[in-house]
Structure 1
Amino acid sequence: MLGEYLPILLFLIVSAGIGIALLVIGSLLGPRQPSAEKLSPYECGFEAFEDARMRFDVRYYLIAILFIVFDLEIAFLFPWAVVFKDLGMQAIVAMTIFLGILVVGFVYEWKKGALDWE
């Protein structure tokens, strides 16, 4: 029974060892030059340690949500691409319609200016 799982166990041990080794080597040999720019908030849209009731720009969240929506929709292409040769014409037409709707939505968001950061 152990012989069946030995390759999987070996793979997990080797991959964990490589991951840990890379983290240790990076922390030992990596440059440590903190600056004001490196220590500042990164892509948060507003200062992180101010009053919680302050007004903030919602454009950051809008772009993040649009990225997630379009990114997840593209993820539907991977299973379709794996079985592409086994699919009939009906599935190809369905995917073409799906991609067309996705492109129309993207163009709509682009024309409305939702992707512009001013």
Structure 2
Amino acid sequence: MLLIMTFCSTIMIVIYLLTMIIMMVMKKKKKNKNKMTPFECGFNSMSNKRLPFSSHFFIIGMMFLIFDIEIIIIMPIILTMKFSMMKSWMLTSFMIMLILIMGLYHEWYNGMLKWTK
């Protein structure tokens, strides 16, 4: 029991020391104005709050989410091919691909893929 407690406390001390060393070495030397500005939201947060929101940023965000979810849906289809019955696997994968292609066509037909109008 004493050996286990000594080992755990030694590990904790080593982790603490490594953390402190990393914090001292990686400390920011100088604050850069470009690094401190917000870039995720699409507008400057220090400006007037009633400025119109950019719809291009919203469209880019939605496209990213849609294609990200498509990848999450497609990956298990590929991985389950070996273990599934081929007829049901083909039907399921065909239906998913058809839905994705129809969604892409709908976006293209309505002009959502044009970045500037």
Match of 1:83 in 2: 80
> Is 1:29 matched with 2:25?
yes
- The verdict on how the C-alpha distance between 1:26 and 1:84 changes in structure 2, with shifts beyond 3 A counting, is farther
Q: Counterparts in 2 of 1:1-118, with a 5 A limit?
A: 26-30=22-26, 32=28, 33-88=30-85, 89-106=87-104, 109=107, 112=111, 114=113, 116=115
Displacement after TM superposition at 1:60 (Å)? 0.9
Larger radius of gyration: 2
Displacement after TM superposition at 1:48 (Å)? 0.9
Whole-Å separation in 1 of the counterparts to 2:107 and 2:18: 41
Whole-Å separation in 1 of the counterparts to 2:79 and 2:93: 13
- The verdict on how the C-alpha distance between 1:106 and 1:28 changes in structure 2, with shifts beyond 3 A counting, is farther
Look up the equivalent residue of 1:114 and give its one-letter code.
Answer: L
Aligned residues: 102
Q: TM-score of the superposition, structure 2-length normalised?
A: 0.60
Whole-Å separation in 1 of the counterparts to 2:21 and 2:68: 33
Deviates more, 1:79-88 or 1:58-67: 79-88
Listed as ranges, the gaps of 5+ residues in structure 2 are: 1-10
State the superposition RMSD in angstroms: 3.5
Q: Percent same amino acid at aligned positions?
A: 24
- The verdict on how the C-alpha distance between 1:27 and 1:114 changes in structure 2, with shifts beyond 3 A counting, is farther
Listed as ranges, the gaps of 5+ residues in structure 1 are: 1-13
Does the 8 Å contact 1:45/1:60 carry over to 2?
yes
